[in-house]
Structure 1
Amino acid sequence: MTTHPQPGTPQCPVSAPAPPPEGPLPIFGPAFSADPHATYARLRAQGPVVPVEISPGVYGYLAVTHGAVGYLLLNNPTLFAKDPVHWAALQRGEIPSGSPALMMMGPRDNALWKDGAEHTRLRDAITSALARVDTFALADSVARIADQLLDSFAAAGRADLMAQYAGPLPMLTVIDFLDSPSSRGEQIVQSSLGERIVNAVTRLFSAGPDDAAQANADLEGACLELTRLKRAHPGPDVITYLIQGGLSNREMVQTLLLLFGAAAPPESEYIGSALLDIITDPESGGSVHTGVRPVADTLNAVMWKNPPVANYHPLYAQGPQWVQGTLIHPGYPILCSYAAANSDPDLFVGTSPGAFAGNRAHFGFSAGTHGCPAPGIARVIGEIAVERALDRLPKLALTVAPANVPTLPGPFLAGPAALPVSFQPDTTRLALPGR
């Protein structure tokens, strides 16, 4: 059997201490998802940038200190490129076609995977379109969708807040503000197309090797259909603005995939993690309920403690590069661990994580050239979603022990996979006509 060198082996030496005997640590699977911060601590003990197994048979580096992540992000593209053309194993055809890593890290014709002028052109189209979003209308839309979802289970007294609320809310919101009625007054994305997009995005982020490629194909097909509909029926909406920015059909498909992927599953975990924090942390929950601490601070704390995008933003060294004393070789993806960076003990020398409550120096929205183009939109959706749930679900409590709340298996997304809760039923809705 042919074997391929892994970062950290003699074929690709690094100056950090040698990895454990079992080889590069995996950042996926049950052991990792049960306690990812234990894995980050083991990696951090080896060095600031460490060899890891990203998914089965896919190897690269993981930056695990705040300083290393900041250095990588702020030196893109001069020292570290974004384009996966620099991924040697991919160019040699060694990454399985159904690998979850390929679906999340492979080349696409959108701004996330480009460098230089091409990145600038595609990103400008996105930022210009998103800048035209009416945040007041967006807030109304989030509240309306939140109440519709809450109405569906408020009388039951029990729910899974991930499956029934935090999971669907961001995608429904994104579809709503991306697809405002056209100039002729119709809503272009019919419910069936919206459902296909929601289903495909959800599958893509949670897919195993058997479903990742099909989920990606289904999502691309739905985005192409949406693009063609909007070309035929333009309106005052983000999709039309992107088309007006001169993007081709191929670029539109991949840009929509980027927007749906960036705005929906991470936002769901952002909301879910904040609700979990409020329910289980007496200091956080008590402060929010008394109004001493705004929901915005709880969401900011989530970005420090458990950012929904835990490990991402693959970069590629432009030749051998030194990062905080560690030699990084070209050809391998270097993932930025926002979760490990934000919990780096060196950040909290002489203080405590609680002192960072109002501090936005975290990497929850990434940074540098490829930083999130619309963190304000993410915050609006998150704040209103959490506030509506707290307003509508009195005496909110978990129905399982906090340690038994299932979490996502990683490596890319982090947060609760389910959030089983009980609350005081809203019996008034049972008496309303038509309910």
Structure 2
Amino acid sequence: MKLRISAAMASAVAFCAVATPQVGAAPATITVASFPDLDRAVKVALPMWEKLHPEIKIKLVSLQIEDHHNSMTTALAAGAHLPDVVAVDFGYIGIFAESKGLDDLLAPPYAAEQYRKQFVSYTYPQATNSRGNLAAMPADIGPGMLFYRKDLMDKAGIKEEELTRSWESYIEAGKKLKAATGAMLLARAGDLKDIYIRANLKDGEGIYFGDKGKVLVDSPRFVRAFELAKAARVAGIDTKTVAWTSEWSEGFKRGKVASQMSGFWFGGHLAKWLAPDYKGQWRASGLPGGALASYGGSFYAIPKKAVNKAEAWEFIKFMTANKEVQLTALREISGYPSLLAAHGDPAMDEAQPYFGGQKTRQLARDTAVKIPVIRVDKYDWMANEVVNSELENVLEQNKDIKTALRDAKALIERRARR
């Protein structure tokens, strides 16, 4: 292990040394388009960047995640008003990779294939399109985890094993929690669907689409995901709020929501703005039933019409292949490193005060190495919207689950023309 880590660190140094602009070159300003909270990873890295590259200035432009991706989709289609570097969330990487508006980072002068082994194995495939082009470099990953309020579980007499033994035991624990404390186990029942459809996928399998674009949303995996969400709603253990709204966030801030299944990055949201007053009360564990899931992740890409491509590439390498930058993002925004060299750093063994001294980074590291490659598709975003709409029909109107999923499949096939 130590030998492999040392080799990776040496490769990272070589990686960052390629194509460095010459000292004395004309000053350049590159525009980086990002979104919260990934934009903060750029902000905290800027002092290091300015020491390494005083000749290249960074202009950071940030919009909320949906606005950012909508804006970049329009700009890429028009080939105008483009930044030099585009941040891309995992949920959008499929459509961005297939857009034909981004440079292939495997091609010269980037030649990114030589760096593949420096990163978590499933990251490159996620950003590779149907033409075999690498559209973006991985910045961080999202090993799936369960976060929960230990103090509330203790009050209800619930052990972690009850939360994680199975999906059914998780829901039963929610009933017990509500009866004892009045707190809800979930912010939204749909969270169960969201994590389950991503769990235990086969290597190379997609969330919504399979081989030759086959739509998978009527499969047993989705039926089970919908059944779990409905069971949680019927049990009355969710607050019925919409994710990322003020009402949703208030549930965490006021201690009314006792758990959340998400990517590792969610722990940073809890600590920084969702529930800072509950420091020491939250814990992290694996998912129910020993499930493995990737939930989220971020990438950086270069538009074909970018003006400052050499400088943009230097910046992307800095953000993705610089171990210290990756570790800074880990500490500041809980962006779990895509760079393998960072996984062997002592920072991974640090106790986390917010989580009562728990070593949550170790848990994420152990999960990350087991997650398979997940196939992405340019229509993932659309399929997600359709499936969510049908889930609401099930939860709010009691629509039959199999009928809802058949309808979802038909609509997805029609919109994707498959």
Scaled by the length of structure 2, the TM-score of the pair is: 0.31
Scaled by the length of structure 1, the TM-score of the pair is: 0.30
